[in-house]
Amino acid sequence: MSSPHPAPDRDDGLIARYAFARRVALAAAARGMAYYARRNSLAVQHKGDDLQDVVSIADQDVEAFIRAELAAHFPEDGIVGEEGGSAGLQARCIWVIDPIDGTACFLNGLHNWCVSIGLLVDGQPLLGAIADPNHDELFHGFIGHGAFVNDTPLAAHGAGNVREGLVGVGTTHRAGKENFLPFIGALLEQGGMFLRNGSGALMTAYVAAGRLIGYYETHLKSWDCLAGLVLVREAGARHNEFLRGDGLLGGNPYLVAAPGVYEQLAAMVGPSLDAD
């Protein structure tokens, strides 16, 4: 297996893919903003029986745009997308994309949504870009090369206790939701406070940026966090073994946090965090 940490002067197409991820994330976010401006007229569908899990024509069109760009520039690469499924998973490079992370926020006029594009190389998160057009922010990173918001380097919070900052949280109606309230209770008991903004990609980016000291989700999908995991690692934060088992396609419980509070938060989550 090749190293997931390429030397800065190594030219095997990864630098080009990093530039591609940033460019396409911005272009896709601009495309999403055009839909956002007329969101009240968009057709919306519900996924399965979960009325909170929604998809719009905006999600579908933005993902189709990203897939077309990938097909034109890196046709040999695999892809995992929220709306279009997976293909080419035997490839060395696999793109993991969420065209609009935070669709419910998007459809309800809230600014907590983004485009997330990450890349796995030899099974490891190597680079990613998260474009937030509502705040003109592009979070991006490349393992071994740093992580940034626009041109500003990211660094995890220096907190040593959960009392020293905010913790992002989230849950769904999928299995694992029973762990949510016990975690909130433990967090409050130890003097912490929480928020939920509806976008796993953005809350992960905020941990990397030091805006949040941690983020826990009872069950997350890879397209919500693959790009963000790169930012977290490069910013000096920690994360659980999210990709274990069927994590890439099926998802897993998820925790990212500043190094000084990771163990404290992991203890609040308990054994469900890395259970198979």
Query: Where do the DSSP E strands lie in 29-103?
Result: 44-46, 54-56, 78-81, 85-87, 93-101
Phi-psi label, residue 117: left if phi above 0, alpha if psi -120 to 50, beta otherwise: beta
Distance CA 54, CA 52 (A): 6
Distance CA 72, CA 66 (A): 10
**Residues flagged as binding site for Mg(2+):** 82, 98, 100-101, 224
Please answer whether residues 95 and 70 qualify as being in contact, where contact means their C-beta atoms are separated by less than 8 angstroms.
yes
CA 24 to chain centre: 16
Distance CA 92, CA 121 (A): 6
